[in-house]
């Protein structure tokens, strides 16, 4: 029995074959996200669960997840699935909380063509509300004090 046949001539067919083979290895292609490591005091790639996993789904905890992501990836947006991966819960509930936080101007949301929220990011007011300013300032041990601003 043939397991996988790779015999294609055009670039388009090669794309389909590559996608088909990669989808069979979904476990191996799962992205590894950065998590904050207290011991190293820096973000590292890790398969460890988020410290927010299993917390109650409310505005405060969702805002903390988004603000914590700012500490790891300053300037980058999160997808709703990233937030769901960190805290758990249903997409509908998380979407409702996003809308409530956006009304209070604690987060910024971007919508796709269908009107669904595709990206979220905390505003400066949201960052201040979630954690104190010192929470976001971190330097590795090897970083000299003379270089800090």
pLDDT at 46: 86
What region does 43 belong to: left with phi over 0, alpha with psi -120 to 50, or beta?
Answer: beta
For residue 2, pLDDT beyond 70: no
In whole angstroms, give the CA distance from residue 107 to residue 105: 6
pLDDT at 139: 79
In whole angstroms, give the CA distance from residue 58 to residue 100: 10
All structural domains of the chain: 50-136 (1.10.10.10)
Closest to 20 in 3D by CA, of 1, 5, 37: 5
| pLDDT tens profile 53-100 | 989 999 999 999 999 999 999 889 999 999 999 999 999 999 999 999
- Judge whether 117 and 109 are in contact, CB under 8 Å: yes
pLDDT at 137: 85
Residue 105: which pLDDT band, with cuts at 50, 70 and 90? Answer: very high
pTM: 0.76
Exposed/middle/buried for residue 94 (C-beta within 10 Å: 0-12, 13-18, 19+): buried
Closest to 107 in 3D by CA, of 94, 120, 116, 88: 120
| pLDDT tens profile 41-55 | 888 998 888 899 989
For residue 6, pLDDT beyond 60: no
Closest to 91 in 3D by CA, of 99, 35, 136, 60: 99
């Amino acid at each position: 029995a043939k397991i996988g046949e790779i015999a294609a001539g055009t670039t388009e067919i090669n794309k389909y074959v590559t996608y088909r083979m990669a989808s069979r290895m979904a476990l191996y292609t799962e992205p590894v996200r950065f998590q904050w490591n207290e011991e190293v005091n820096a973000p590292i790639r890790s398969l460890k669960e988020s410290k927010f996993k299993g917390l109650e789904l409310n505005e405060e905890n969702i805002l903390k997840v988004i603000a914590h992501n700012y500490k790891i990836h300053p300037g980058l947006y999160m997808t709703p699935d990233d937030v769901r991966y960190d805290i758990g819960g249903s997409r509908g509930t998380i979407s409702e909380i996003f809308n409530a936080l956006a009304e209070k101007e604690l987060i910024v949301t971007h919508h796709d063509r269908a009107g669904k929220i595709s990206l979220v990011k905390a505003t400066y007011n949201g960052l201040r509300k979630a954690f104190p300013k010192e929470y976001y300032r971190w330097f590795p041990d090897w970083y000299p004090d003379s270089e800090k601003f």
